[in-house]
Structure 1
Amino acid sequence: MATDSALTAEQILSATEDALRRFGPAKATVVDVARTLGVSHGSVYRFFPSKAAVREAVTQRWLAQAHDDLRFIAIEPGPAAERLHRWLTTLFAAKRRKALDDPQLFATYMTLVGEASQVVDAHLAALVDQIAQILQDGIEKGEFRHTPVNATARAVFEATAHFHDPAHASGWSDPTAEDRFEALWKLVLRGLAADA
């Protein structure tokens, strides 16, 4: 339990995750969060002005944690094609792990994601920007053909949506999912390659 003076935003977000897991997104309240922490609900509101703000912050944290490795893949040295493949594979693996390891929490977060459209839009834009970084690097190194980088990055993201958009999560446990992903990757790479 935290005292009011030692309370942190991170503790509130962790307690909110616990409350969401226990009660679900429809029933979890700021009072539940405060009770878990042993503080008044007013203490929670000192950090977050509303229940919606707490839920939005939890969603933002969850999205960031789920995709933290992607930022590093986008900027590391090495062949762009290998990095793009690893980036897409890491994204698919992270989403798949979240959906299959804890389906109840995944469903809860999908509800929250539906509520936090600005957070999600910013997150998706950041992911597309990371793809664009890799593509730009590949163009500069002569690995990829010259294309409009931002539009191509968006196209790659959308073309691979079956393997990272939660709307398709029910198919991620299919034993052929990885083979289908690799087949799609080969098509994407063929379209990007400088000698295509």
Structure 2
Amino acid sequence: MPPPETPLTPARILEATEDVLRRYGPAKATVVDVARALGVSHGSVYRHFRSKTALREAVTDRWLDQEHDSLSRIAHAKAPAAERLEGWLRTLFAAKRRKAGADPELFATYVALASENSETVARHVGTMLDHLTTIVESGIAGGEFTMRDARATARALWDATAQFHDPVYAPRWSDPDMDLAFAAVCELLLDGLRAH
């Protein structure tokens, strides 16, 4: 008797899409390739994702969202704001480095997909800014930070640390001096935020 079929779920489709993207790249990967990898018709894939664009957006979302839970836990932890901010930035940088180093071809594929999906990237950045805003607000409320506008400060922190999370800088993330550069930037930012 053949084993029971595994149900076709959005998660299975996204996993197969990732494999197809790794194999063919974003320019050549098709929904038919994804369906073939799953052993189903392309119509079955379209029942879960209404178009190739929707499928690519979902894959990009999944990739960008991988660290959201751990970063959210840091942002909402019961710890001093300065400690949470440094931990949040360090966790984000480590995650980006890991993604770029573990599978450079897939990382390049996702960077290409992200550039096609500006709304998906905007949602991701919005979530990151929400985390940073939460940390800064608690730092202001607790007297650790002197800033007045938490959201503007969060945006400035995001922009000031771009070289540690923006994929355009990925080729530098393996440089031997990047950890020292990260520590120096964190120290400068935290010193600027602290009440004197």
1:127 to partner: Cα distance = 0.1
Letter in 2 for 1:14: E
1:2 to partner: Cα distance = 8.8
1:96 to partner: Cα distance = 0.6
Aligned residue for 2:183?
Answer: 182
Cα deviation per residue 1:74-104 (whole Å; 9 max; x = unaligned)? 1111111000000000000000111111100
Written as runs of structure 1 = structure 2, the 5 A alignment for 1:145-156 is 145-156=146-157
TM-score, normalized by length of structure 1?
0.96
TM-score, normalized by length of structure 2?
0.96
**Unpaired segments of 5 or more residues in structure 2?**
none
SS in 1 for 2:66: helix
Percent identity over the alignment?
Answer: 58
Aligned residue for 1:129?
Answer: 130
Aligned residue for 1:86?
Answer: 87
Do 2:22 and 2:105's aligned partners in 1 also have CA atoms closer than 8 Å? yes
Structure 1 consecutive aligned stretches of length 4 or more whose deviation exceeds 4 Å: none
Cα separation, 1, equivalents of 2:38 and 2:4: 6
Do 2:86 and 2:186's aligned partners in 1 also have CA atoms closer than 8 Å? yes
- Would the alpha carbon gap of residues 68 and 137 (structure 1) be closer, same or farther in structure 2, given more than 3 Å must change? same
- Would the alpha carbon gap of residues 99 and 2 (structure 1) be closer, same or farther in structure 2, given more than 3 Å must change? farther
Do 2:31 and 2:42's aligned partners in 1 also have CA atoms closer than 8 Å? yes
Cα deviation per residue 1:47-69 (whole Å; 9 max; x = unaligned)? 11110100000000011114431
1:147 to partner: Cα distance = 2.0
Cα separation, 2, equivalents of 1:55 and 1:46: 15
Q: How many residues align?
A: 194
Taking only aligned residues, the RMSD between alpha carbons, in angstroms, comes to 1.4
1:6 to partner: Cα distance = 2.0
SS in 1 for 2:119: helix
Cα separation, 2, equivalents of 1:9 and 1:24: 20
